Amino acid sequence: VLDFNDPFSTEVKPRILLMGLRRSGKSSIQKVVFHKMSPNETLFLESTNKICREDVSNSSFVNFQIWDFPGQIDFFDPTFDYEMIFRGTGALIFVIDSQDDYMEALARLHLTVTRAYKVNPEINFEIFIHKVDGLSDDHKIETQRDIHQRANDDLADAGLEKIHLSFYLTSIYDHSIFEAFSKVVQKLIPQLPTLENLLNIFISNSGIEKAFLFDVVSKIYIATDSTPVDMQTYELCCDMIDVVIDISCIYGLKDDGTGTPYDKESMAIIKLNNTTVLYLKEVTKFLALVCFVREESFERKGLIDYNFHCFRKAIQEVFEVRMKVVRSRKHQSHMQKNKRPTPNGTPRMPL
């Protein structure tokens, strides 16, 4: 657990809270996104009865803690230190079951957001309107509009119009939950503008139509270029990563089962029947670049590979800068602790 009094702790590993009423689907979301559980298997998950904390540290960018809160716990009880919880939080995801009566959920949402904002105005508030797979397209839009209107009206009535809520329609039975989590995680990545700029330079010089930088473990895309994201394109990229990892696990390991199925030699090309090529290249141990390229542009594969080499080198430099910042902040934090006086009033001696 982080040292909550450490002013640099939230920068090193931000915290994402999963909140909502009982049976809204919080634990299922976590299991599907971060544990590769089949959506059908989540039907057998027991209701969460205690706070579950999990470190997600797949790469230097996807690096945070997830706290899954039981719906029945009243964390505003006087015996519960909710200020400590919200102080180190980067994002608060509130899950609302779209197939249930959501009036009680909206009341809990309003209470949670107002309390959290008073403690930490920097929290990103993300609302997952969940289980929309059981709704028609018209019903989805109407439900989102109604929840959006009611939640913002409640904040306006409390004089808190400046609080921004982001809304997402999600389901564990398609890729909408991965895309929503991608948007949440991107807000916690301070290097996002740099990554987007690098991707824009890469695709403009390579004749590429669309590029995603994926975390291959969770299928969260941590950055993409500035062109709009098409859901079908994103789903194809996710499917490609699944194919590459599955085949690598079958044929990429040694006879004794050792080795790494995904490494710096990992690469895949899939030609679609609409004159489009999907091209995947390994960037780091946990990151992959997935590109959409027209067949005529892919004929200049040598140019694309050269530009990719430059892109990967730039990404590694971003990592190195990030690690220097983290080490520097940890050092400053350590020095500050040593400067604090001991209980008898004498200054601490540096180690």
pLDDT, one tens digit for every residue, the chain (351 residues): 233 333 333 345 678 999 999 888 888 998 888 888 888 888 777 777 777 777 776 554 567 888 888 877 776 677 777 788 888 889 999 999 998 899 999 999 999 999 899 999 999 999 999 999 988 989 999 999 999 999 999 999 999 989 999 999 999 999 899 999 999 999 988 888 999 999 999 999 999 999 999 988 788 899 999 999 888 889 999 999 988 888 887 887 776 666 677 777 888 999 998 889 999 999 988 889 999 999 999 999 999 999 999 999 998 888 788 777 767 777 776 677 666 665 555 555 554
Architecture per CATH, 191-326? 2-Layer Sandwich (3.30)
CATH 3.40.50.1980 corresponds to the domain 15-188: no
pLDDT at 40: 87
Question: What string of DSSP letters covers 146-210?
Answer: HHHHHHHHHHHHTT-TT--EEEEE--TTSTHHHHHHHHHHHTT-TTHHHHHHHHHHHHHHHTEEE
Is pTM beyond 0.85 here? no
pLDDT at 348: 56
N- to C-terminal Cα distance for the chain? 24
pLDDT at 338: 67
Question: What string of DSSP letters covers 205-264?
Answer: HHTEEEEEEEETTTTEEEEE-SSPPPHHHHHHHHHHHHHHHHHHHHHSS-TTS-S-SS-T
Q: Where are the domains of the chain?
A: 15-188, 191-326
DSSP code, position 335: H
